[in-house]
Structure 1
Amino acid sequence: MEPPVDDPTSNTMWLRERDPPNENNQEQLQSKKMRRKNEQKRTEANKDRRQILVTCNYGNGGCQHTCDDTDTGPVCGCHQKYALHSDGRTCIEKDEAAIESSEYNATSVADVDKRVKRRLLMETCAVNNGGCDRTCKDTATGVRCSCPVGFTLQPDGKTCK
């Protein structure tokens, strides 16, 4: 039985039995060994390159706002009025973050009742669009107005021009 011509689990390339041993065959064997080593080096370099691609330079590391490269990979952060979501990548408004955590950690009905009363006293988008000229969004602290593309929210926080 003839040994394999190429054994992928080995660093050695085999020559067929019928090839008579001579100086030329030895050169071929050495040449094939060198090619195999070079292929392994390229494969290892490509693995390293793929691991490096998961950095802040590519897609902001998957982060919504800020990204810092560390030895263990990208670490996400958020702009000032935002908090990092539990997914470690998304940023949510701090007032919404407080609601999100309190919904799951409410300690008593009285605490929930206080939040409901406070919410009812606040201006909401359901009443006169929250006073917003265009788009209104209810938040834990009141309403937030915004404008469509091409318009600018004015200093009053309600009007779009």
Structure 2
Amino acid sequence: MIKTFSAKQIPPKTQLTLALLNIRSLSNKTALVNEIITDNLIDIMCLTETWLKPDEYLPLNESTPPSHLNYHVPRHTGRGGGVATIYQSSFLTSPKLTHKFKSFEVLVLNFLPPDWKTNQPVTVVTLYRPLGPYTEFLEEFSDFLSTLTTQTGKI
């Protein structure tokens, strides 16, 4: 016997499944990332050190299952770096904080799953800090947190 559920019987979502990988070059790990997301039913996958160039989309698209979408912030100078987020396509999504920092790379997205119990979006920050002066990072990170708190209201 097969049991079916109507939309009214499915309980609202109360938790999200998030993951973070310091991928150190996404180009040769696209199938692995796609498989991890699919096999583990990951709602939001954050990636650091994607090593993708600003005009390089294929590795990220190959890493993204058909049920998901993606955002990417590449490093604009030098090599390495870059952060990305792969997320459920059904989520209402809005990017936040487009400011660039010298001491770290960041991607801030607000997510509102369609079946979420509350109308409060969840803010997800994907941040990568490469080697560099620690004092500069502390100053910029403090500014970042102040701005984030002001814009989102909650952390």
Place the TM-score, normalised by the shorter chain, in its bin.
under 0.3
Normalised to the residue count of structure 1, the TM-score between the two structures is 0.21
Higher fraction of strand: 2
Which has the greater radius of gyration?
1
Select the structure with the greater relative contact order (CA < 8 A; seq sep ≥ 6).
2
Normalised to the residue count of structure 2, the TM-score between the two structures is 0.21
